[in-house]
């Protein structure tokens, strides 16, 4: 059960990080041509664009691949930084719709230094 919960929590944190990636795409747009080429029919939100890009990773531009790889690094860092805090403060929160992220933000002062850093970078 803990493994499933950990996977769901990681997915929730990933969605937030992918939202950051979407904002970054709007700023520097390294994946925009690839999104238009491979994911034009994909509805944005819920990590669907990121998932689409992942399915086409072998076909993406070098700049976009770099961004996708950076997002994976952030996802791993977020998981490592916040897993214990999620277990401590948000174990009764059902993952999805950013509920776990909201719970972590509600406990910002009590989070580990590492998780607090990850959460602050989301703003």
- Return the pLDDT at 24: 47
What contacts 91, CB < 8 A, 6 or more positions away?
5
Digit-coded pLDDT (tens) for 17-43: 555 555 544 545 889 999 999 999 999
Domain range summary for the chain, segments of one domain joined by +: 2-121
Taking Cα atoms as reference points, which of 92, 104, 89, 84 lies closest to residue 12? 104
Please state the pTM of the whole predicted model.
Answer: 0.60
- Return the pLDDT at 2: 60
Digit-coded pLDDT (tens) for 58-108: 999 999 999 888 888 888 888 889 999 999 999 998 887 778 888 999 999
């Amino acid at each position: 059960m803990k493994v499933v919960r950990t996977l769901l929590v990681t997915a929730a944190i990933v969605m937030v990080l992918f939202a950051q990636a979407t904002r970054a795409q709007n700023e520097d747009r390294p994946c925009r041509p690839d999104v238009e080429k491979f994911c034009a029919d994909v509805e944005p939100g819920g990590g669907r664009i990121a998932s689409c890009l992942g399915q086409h990773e072998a076909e993406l531009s070098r700049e976009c691949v770099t961004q996708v790889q950076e997002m994976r690094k952030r996802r791993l860092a977020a998981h490592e930084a916040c897993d214990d805090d999620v277990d401590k403060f948000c174990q009764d929160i059902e993952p999805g719709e950013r509920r776990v992220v909201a719970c972590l933000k509600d406990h910002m002062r009590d989070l580990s230094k590492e998780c607090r850093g990850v959460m602050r970078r989301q703003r």
